[in-house]
Structure 1
Amino acid sequence: MEHSFYAVYGVELAETDWLVVYDGLEALRRSRREDDTSEDVQLYTVSGNGRRDDRIIIGVGYEELPPGTCKSAKDLEASPGRDEAVLRAAAALPGRALDAPGWLLVHDWS
C-alpha cells in the first residue's frame, strides 16, 4: 500500500457515490461549449480510513507534496474562476458540498 500527500483546490462532497460523480463530471465535459475556457473539474477519491466509503473531492487545482517537502499554504495559488468552476460543477452533481471551495490537504492510502 502506498500513501500520497497532495493539495487539491476544490470541495468535498457528501451523500453521494464516486461513480455517480464521475459520470456527472463526464457529462459536464461533453456538454461544455468550445469557447468555455474554465478549468476542467476532476474527481479525487481519498481512501485509507478503514471504511468502505471513500471521501469524494472535486477540484480544479492539484499539487503533489512529496515526502520531505515544506510549502507555505499561501504559496498554493488560486486563479480567478476556480471557485466558479468548482461551484458550477458541485451544483450540477448529486451530493452536498461540505464547505466553500479552497485548498484541501489530502493524505491518501491506496
Structure 2
Amino acid sequence: MTDATASPVGDVVDHSSGLPRVLDRKCGTCIFRPGNLMHLDPGRREEMVRAALGRGSWIVCHATLPAAGIPIGEQAICRGFWDVHARDSLGCRLAVAFGGPVFGPPPAEPAAPARPHA
C-alpha cells in the first residue's frame, strides 16, 4: 500500500459504475458458511458484524483482501454478510438505492497441486 490514506482492506468500489462490488456467491471459506472454516475465535464474526453495522458499512471478503494478494481496488463485500445483513447496513441499503451493487465472482481459488502418477 503506497497511499497513506488507503484502507488496509482496499476498495470495494467498481470504478466504472461507482457502485460497490459484492461477490456473486460465497467464497469457499466464507465466515458465514457453517463450520468456522476460517478458524475464528468464538464470537469474532459477531464482533465483525457489530462493528460493520455500527459504521453503516460491511465486511470485505477475506479472499479479496490485499493481504490475499488481490490488488487494491478489486475488493468485494462478503456475500455471506450481504445475504444476512444487507438490510441492516446503511451502506448496503444505499448501494441498492443507487442501483447496485455490482456482482462478480470470488477470486480464483489456487489450483490443486498436480498429483504424481502411480
Instruction: Report if TM-score (shorter chain) is over 0.5.
Output: no
Of structures 1 and 2, the one with the larger relative CO (CA 8 A, separation 6+) is 1
What TM-score do the two structures reach when normalised by structure 1?
0.27
What TM-score do the two structures reach when normalised by structure 2?
0.26
